[in-house]
Structure 1
Amino acid sequence: MISNHLMIRDYPVDERPRERFKNYGPESLSNQELLALLLRTGTKSQSVLQLAQNLIKEFDGLRMLKDATIEELTKIDGIGQSKAIQILAAVELGRRITNLTFDNRYIIRSPEDAANYMMEEMRFLNQEHFVCLYLNTKNHILYKQTIFIGSLNASIVHPREVFREAVKRSAASFICIHNHPSGDPQPSREDIAVTKRLVECGKLMGVELLDHIIIGEKKYVSLKEKGYL
């Protein structure tokens, strides 16, 4: 761990919290170092790491930080209102993430559910957008990702891009959705080719493609219902 008594700039670049965060992820940093990243700067008399350590001591190793007020934080030398607000904003984001439940997430029970989820967002687009909805084992949407923008082509929509997000999100399955700017959702040969390629890759990866939905003008086509999956 970096010493409290030296300034960040005194350390080799690859040992600084920001660089370690980028190279090894946030889990590689201590609470003190994560707080130092939020605070960004120390004072003339103490480094940002010393300031972070003072915060940790004051709030019982972060235990009481979740209930801190601006007034309590600004009593600490080196913590002004701006830094106090940054800290409390981060605490509140953490609280909201912790309180998220799967009940807050949209559930896909049918092709119509998937189409309705994306219809208003996609039906007026003047270019084709290829989007994947990544689902958990109960078909809650974990994440939505636009994979490609432009004319659909099996050689351009590469499975690598699709399954990278699936693995990253620990998805059990996924649904592909893309729009036809013409308003006609009937599948093209390329649409069918892309679908079949993703089905085969999904079998190898253990992440099932549940459907490929094509969005038109207030109407859609499910390639699963058409028998292509």
Structure 2
Amino acid sequence: MKIKEWAEEDRPREKMLLKGIASLSDAELLAILIGSGNSHETAVQLSQRILFSVDNNLNALGKLSVKELMSKFKGIGQVKAITINAALELGKRRGSCDPIQRPEIRSSHDTFRLLHPLLCDLPHEELWAVLINRSCQVIEKVKISQGGTSETSADLRLILKAAITALASSIILCHNHPSGSIRPSREDDQLTQRLKSAARLVDINLLDHIVIGDGSYYSYSDEGKL
């Protein structure tokens, strides 16, 4: 039976999309790389045989050259052999890379330092959302809207969609005042309260709303207005 005739949840690519990449076996991952088998084996069966030949040890598989892979296994041509070698080399290089260090937000000043370079010299207003995980680390900075010299629009749905998609536990809102003043407007106050109430409905916290001016900022959290 060809892989295309398998149940959708059993095909490597479809299984990955349905259940996540961690659900795939080494043979299924290898099958995605080689794409097809030969006249007697599916890609998964060929991958299982390749792994069995090296006692299911990926380090041993990485030692096989392009020529060895081509000569030992029917259905593995030069392109497939190169793909296998390249994938294993990438895995080896990933292991030597430092883990991603996400910025942490512990105070309003941390937020100011994070976004001030993006907003300090703009001649127009921009509204950004900083998405935070439960460890107070920044998942992502998202530009929500861009406006004129005195205001910008704020769609709560876009803000919440970004937070939900990123699986954020908290949001920090931030916008600039091109005039240099850090005094929040009545519209800023209303936006803050509307977002706080809406975010609470989906179990997301609004940690702060920062207004950036000329080298300084206003924090709703610091001022006790959240």
Taking structure 2 as the reference length, what is the TM-score of the superposition?
A: 0.70
Work out whether residues 125 and 175 of structure 2, in 8 Å CA contact, stay in contact via their aligned partners in 1.
Answer: no
Partner secondary structure for residue 72 of structure 1:
coil
Q: Distance in 2 between matches of 1:29 and 1:50?
A: 14
Distance 1:82 1:162, change over 3 A: closer
The offset of 1:162, in angstroms, is: 4.7
Q: Does 1:72 align with 2:64?
A: yes
Q: Does 1:211 align with 2:208?
A: yes
Deviations 1:138-161 (A, max 9, x none): x233x114162334445x222641
- Give the number of the structure whose alpha-carbon radius of gyration is greater: 2
- What corresponds to 2:103 in structure 1? 106
The partner residue of 1:38 within 26, 33, 41 is 33
The partner residue of 2:130 within 132, 135, 156 is 132
Partner secondary structure for residue 222 of structure 2:
coil
The offset of 1:36, in angstroms, is: 1.9
Distance 1:127 1:147, change over 3 A: same
Bigger shift: residues 213-222 or 7-16? 7-16
The offset of 1:27, in angstroms, is: 4.2
User: Once the two structures are aligned, what percentage of the paired residues are identical?
Assistant: 28
Q: Distance in 2 between matches of 1:180 and 1:40?
A: 54
Q: Does 1:223 align with 2:220?
A: yes
- What corresponds to 2:86 in structure 1? 85
- What corresponds to 1:3 in structure 2? none
Q: Distance in 2 between matches of 1:179 and 1:86?
A: 45
Distance 1:203 1:28, change over 3 A: same
Partner secondary structure for residue 117 of structure 1:
helix
The offset of 1:59, in angstroms, is: 4.5
The partner residue of 2:189 within 186, 189, 192 is 192
Deviations 1:114-139 (A, max 9, x none): 111222234456562422231324x2
The offset of 1:53, in angstroms, is: 1.5
The offset of 1:186, in angstroms, is: 3.9
Work out whether residues 183 and 218 of structure 2, in 8 Å CA contact, stay in contact via their aligned partners in 1.
Answer: yes
Q: Does 1:150 align with 2:117?
A: no
The offset of 1:58, in angstroms, is: 3.9
Gaps of 5+ in 1: 1-5
The offset of 1:26, in angstroms, is: 2.7
Q: Distance in 2 between matches of 1:127 and 1:54?
A: 60
